[in-house]
A and B are shown apart, each in its own frame.
Chain A
């Protein structure tokens, strides 16, 4: 989360004198406090001459650093072990290539294709894929709460779930390759969203019925903004249980399932 001063309402953002350019009288301070509190943007940060205050500058850099780290760090083995995720990899060699070549992030490398055949149950109703996407932090922060709610919920409804996998350097559409290889009825990709400065931990869940390589983005459903400050991961897991149930019943996903208010993003 952002560590900027608006997250702490008790701490006025501006107080040291005229250089910051903000009246220090009580009434105007109170009005400023209200503006700072209710706005998610970086308001009332003050200034030093024409430049931001040192504190505002460092907060900004700190938040950007967190976002950058989320893109460039990798998901830990501990998480994969804890949930028994089979580790796979796309044809991407490293982060630099991942960022520049989305096409390579949609297909598994040869070794992963073999492992998929060897280690994963074929033909499940639901295949779960976890991908680092653009934020490994999102995976680390949300999957431990989301996955049990999802797995237990599906089990309680008698839905068969395949061997969950983790795909390193995965794009959204890598779910098509995994789902097609395993002949799953339905495939879910829990993938890190592009980090923002407010949170680097936002996860999206893409769902597709009848996964096949090259299928249109519009055929996928998505639940986005999954993190503690948005849709809590445990609640997202329960939401996916219901949504998967609907998809299996309707044998459809995305625009074919229903036009509703779920936001549709095509970022990754």
Chain B
């Protein structure tokens, strides 16, 4: 299939939808590494033009990985609500962009077309949108979800407390939990990445966090981010988990690299609904990130943004409570610097929310990336303004277990103050009861982990 730009001044011709999507992408080292990026800014813009004129139907009918080869494609295609799709299939991608940014478009209008969109359409419109477009439209969407607490409601900004320890020492994990809660972080989840992916470790971490949550009556949920099969074994043996976690990829091959497929995820979701100790109904937690498929050699020639969108298409199947991109974790060969990370962060949260999933972000960077704490504080400000559901926070921004930097516990209160927001209502009340929060601000007691001893 040959695709021509609507205004073929540049004389560019593209051979496939996949190529247009790839070349229309804002510059990312990952697409360059894969050898699919535009060679020049002129070519990039030509591809954007080609994409702008492309009908949504073309995107539906040309999924980036064929349905008969890829179950992620099938999941996305089968989820489309046909009558709604029929209403919008003749829109161009430019029409979709202009509908989203139009005055008068809000969550209600977006919700009306959402079931007709595929991940490829969402990826396509993202490629046409500027950073401010992305922030503006994200701010219009409100996607909330409920486990023990509710995240994503208007006026709230939630935080995952990530108390990782390089030796999986649960007393250290609890210390870091104490510190985080004393700063008001932790209403999204107390989520621990274990070093050792074993049932024993997972159980130990789930038990310790659960016990702490019960003891202090914290309105939140726990999660241990080991492989989903490890968590399932732990839960079957009685470990108290509020959420079940898994990393997702946007292709079947990529998920195979992660050791999961749709059947397994269905089984995990079913188990989580029956056996998680939380009240639900949303009991799944997913993490994603641009470039994961390429690093696992499972990108199928598709650009990293489109693959990221497809992760959300898959995640949506499981009505998750939390989904976040771990945007700067993967390294400079995929997202080179602060600029690319900020762009990707805005894209990912926008795409997640447009899919209708409750999207948060781990705004982060590694030490070999051309970025520093200022870059992710910038991203946090942008995404708090845009209305991301939650951010990841770690002690003083430094995760010594995963060896990268993210937002600090401190950033929670600063962002609330800046945008006149607060944590989830139940958690807000609890903070007030603990004398940590008064009239929208932390109290004098805040920041002292020993109040929880």
- Chain A residues in contact with chain B, CB under 8 A? 18, 20-23, 28, 31-32, 35, 38-47, 50-52, 56, 60-61, 63-64, 67-68, 70-71, 96, 99-103, 134, 194-198, 200
Q: Please report the C-alpha to C-alpha distance between residue A43 and residue B163 in the assembled complex, in whole angstroms.
A: 10
A38 to B369, CA, bound (A): 30
Find A196's partner among B163, B178, B179, B403 (CB 8 Å cutoff): B403
Contact partners of A42 in chain B: CB under 8 A = 395-398, 400
Q: Chain B 220-245, CB within 8 Å of chain A: the 1/0 string? A: 00000000000000000000000000
Q: How many B residues touch A, CB cutoff 8 Å?
A: 53
Q: Which residues of A contact B450 (CB under 8 A)?
A: 22-23, 28, 31-32, 35
Residues of chain A lying within 8 A (CB to CB) of residue B40: none
Q: What are 17 inter-chain pairs, A to B, with CB distance below 8 A?
A: A18-B444, A21-B448, A23-B450, A28-B448, A35-B449, A39-B175, A43-B176, A47-B410, A60-B373, A64-B373, A68-B367, A71-B367, A100-B32, A100-B33, A101-B33, A102-B33, A200-B367
- Contact A21 B398, CB 8 Å, known A28-B448, A35-B449, A41-B172: no
Task: Note all chain B residues with C-beta closer than 8 A to A31.
Answer: 450, 453
**Is the beta-carbon distance between B333 and A100 smaller than 8 angstroms?**
yes
Q: B446–A47 contact, CB under 8 A?
A: yes
Residue of B nearest to A70 (CB): B367
- A50-B410, A99-B332 known; A195+B398 contact, CB < 8 A: no
CA distance A22 to B370 in the complex (A): 35
Residues of A within 8 A of B33 (CB): 100-103
Known: A64-B373, A102-B333. A21 touches B447 (CB 8 A): yes
Cβ contact within 8 Å between B368 and A134: yes
Interfacial chain B residues near A60, Cβ < 8 Å = 373, 396-398
| Residues of the B chain whose Cβ atoms lie less than 8 Å from the Cβ of A23 | 445, 448, 450-451
3 interchain residue pairs of minimum CB distance: A21-B447, A42-B396, A50-B413
Q: With contacts defined as CB atoms under 8 Å apart, how many contacts are there between chain A and chain B in the complex?
A: 135
B400 in complex: contacting residue of A40, A67, A99, CB < 8 Å: A40
User: B310-346: which have CB < 8 Å to A?
Assistant: 331-333, 336
Q: Are A52 and B448 CB-contacts (below 8 A) given A68-B367, A100-B29?
A: no
- Per the bound structure, the CA–CA distance linking A67 and B333 in Å amounts to 18
Chain A residues with CB under 8 A of B395: 41-43, 45
**Are A21 and B449 in touch, CB under 8 angstroms?**
no
Query: Is B400 a contact of A198 with CB atoms below 8 Å?
Result: yes
User: Which residues of the partner chain A approach B331 to less than 8 Å between Cβ atoms?
Assistant: 99
Answer yes or no: B266 CB below 8 A from chain A CBs. no
Q: Which residues of B contact A96 (CB under 8 A)?
A: 370
Do A195 and B179 touch across chains, with their CB atoms under 8 A apart? no
CB-defined contacts of B446 to chain A, threshold 8 Å:
21, 47
B53 at the interface (CB under 8 A from A): no
Closest B residue, CB atoms, query A193: B403
Check B84 for interface membership: any CB of A closer than 8 A: no
- Asked if B444 and A196 make an inter-chain contact with CB atoms under 8 angstroms apart, the answer reads no
Cross-chain contact A194 with B448 (CB below 8 angstroms): no
Tell me if A99 and B179 are in contact (CB < 8 A).
no
Chain A residues with Cβ below 8 Å from B453 are: 31
Q: Which of B390-406 contact A (CB under 8 A)?
A: 394-400, 403, 405
Does B166 sit at the interface, judged by CB under 8 A? yes
B373 and A43 within 8 A (CB): no
